[in-house]
Amino acid sequence: MTGRIIIFLLTFIGAVFLLTTTASAYIDPATTAMLTQIIAGAFITLGVVFGVFRRKIIMFFKNMNVNRIKRKIEREAEKQNKNKENSQDIKQPDTNGSNGEE
């Protein structure tokens, strides 16, 4: 198994060196530095935004979860109230003095 890995690596490295061609492109060092500064600036900006608005972001997601739980509890309470009303309607007899005849 180790022999196969070594043969594969040697073949791959040999192919890389034998099959490469020279590139007719040039990237100016100033361009590379400018791209590096843009990427670094983006990361720093994201860090500052997260740092400034961290509490608001966290509270937003916590409130979203709390509101979801509140709605669930309210729905369950409404269901229980409806079930109570329905069970009370069934259990209570007719109290207007008639026996169902007109």
pLDDT tens track for 25-63 = 777 888 889 999 999 999 999 999 888 888 888 888 888
Answer yes or no: is pLDDT of 18 > 80: yes
Segments making up each domain of the chain, as ranges = 56-90
The secondary structure of the chain as a DSSP string is -HHHHHHHHHHHHHHHHHH---------HHHHHHHHHHHHHHHHHHHHHHHHHHHHHHHHHHHHHHHHHHHHHHHHHHHHHHHHHHHHHHHSPP-SS--S--
Phi first, then psi, for residue 93 (nearest 5°) are -75, 170
Q: How far is CA 96 from CA 72, 89, 90, in A?
A: 39, 14, 16
Q: Give pTM, 2 decimals.
A: 0.36
Mean confidence (pLDDT) of the chain: 82
